[in-house]
């Protein structure tokens, strides 16, 4: 009995440590950008700073991490742009979280090389969940597009950059005008991360 009294703190400390570990794993770690993330203001917690060509709204109506996200409004245009500097002949990973009110919105996500054209291109397939991915004949792999909760999803893709010398590069997220002029439902986006994996 004496030893039970003496060591009462062992299970209590273990329980607290397990709770803290769960809290970190569930709420903190998913909101930490991966090391080397090059997207500025990726969770839209600093308004739209770092982003250009903005068509849509900074909002606290919804979010995945932090308190804010970016929203394209149903019935309106939608676009986001950010300039990048990517290494040549390298593997990168690109991830973002989104909530789409309409399954029919054809969102286009592209990483554009201003001299030689589109590198990565991801088109959300209307009518079902999923993305079609292309990369100028270079390596590209859609690793997943998975549900989170509250209608949010997370998409992760891996792709290769080309051999051309450095040019201006940018990330564009927008509605392709040749398919539709406005969103059918609100489209929310948060936690846009892009990070270097390795050179080839």
Q: Which residues bind Ca ion (CB under 5 A)?
A: 43-44, 63, 65-66, 69, 190
CA 124 to chain centre: 14
When the beta carbons of 69 and 140 are compared against Ca ion, the nearer one is 69
When the beta carbons of 98 and 159 are compared against Ca ion, the nearer one is 98
CB of 10 to Ca ion, least distance (A): 39
Q: What are the angstrom distances between the C-alpha of 91 and each of 66, 88, 99, 149, 195? A: 28, 9, 27, 29, 9
Give the integer Cα–Cα distance in Å for 111 and 183.
21
Give the integer Cα–Cα distance in Å for 136 and 164.
13
When the beta carbons of 105 and 190 are compared against Ca ion, the nearer one is 190
CB of 155 to Ca ion, least distance (A): 16
When the beta carbons of 43 and 161 are compared against Ca ion, the nearer one is 43
CB of 69 to Ca ion, least distance (A): 5
CB of 191 to Ca ion, least distance (A): 6
Please answer whether residues 38 and 85 qualify as being in contact, where contact means their C-beta atoms are separated by less than 8 angstroms: yes
CB of 188 to Ca ion, least distance (A): 10
Please answer whether residues 172 and 80 qualify as being in contact, where contact means their C-beta atoms are separated by less than 8 angstroms: yes
Give the integer Cα–Cα distance in Å for 50 and 26.
28
When the beta carbons of 69 and 157 are compared against Ca ion, the nearer one is 69
């Amino acid at each position: 009995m004496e030893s039970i009294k003496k060591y009462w703190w062992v299970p209590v400390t273990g329980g607290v440590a397990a709770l803290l570990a769960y809290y970190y794993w569930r709420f903190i770690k998913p909101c930490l950008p991966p090391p080397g993330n090059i997207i500025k203001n990726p969770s839209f917690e600093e308004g739209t700073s770092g982003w250009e060509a903005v068509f849509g709204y900074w909002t606290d109506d919804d979010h995945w991490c932090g308190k804010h996200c970016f929203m394209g409004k149903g019935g309106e245009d939608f676009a986001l742009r950010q300039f990048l500097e990517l290494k040549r002949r390298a593997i990168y990973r690109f991830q973002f979280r989104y909530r789409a009110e309409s399954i029919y919105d054809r969102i286009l996500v592209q990483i554009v090389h201003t001299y030689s054209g589109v590198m990565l291109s991801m088109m959300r397939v209307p009518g079902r969940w999923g993305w079609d991915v292309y990369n100028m004949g270079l390596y590209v792999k859609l690793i997943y597009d998975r549900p989170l909760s509250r209608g949010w999803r997370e998409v992760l893709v891996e792709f290769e950059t080309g051999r051309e010398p450095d040019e201006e590069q940018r990330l564009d997220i927008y509605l392709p005008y040749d398919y539709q002029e406005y969103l059918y439902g609100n489209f929310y986006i948060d936690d846009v991360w892009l990070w270097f994996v390795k050179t080839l």
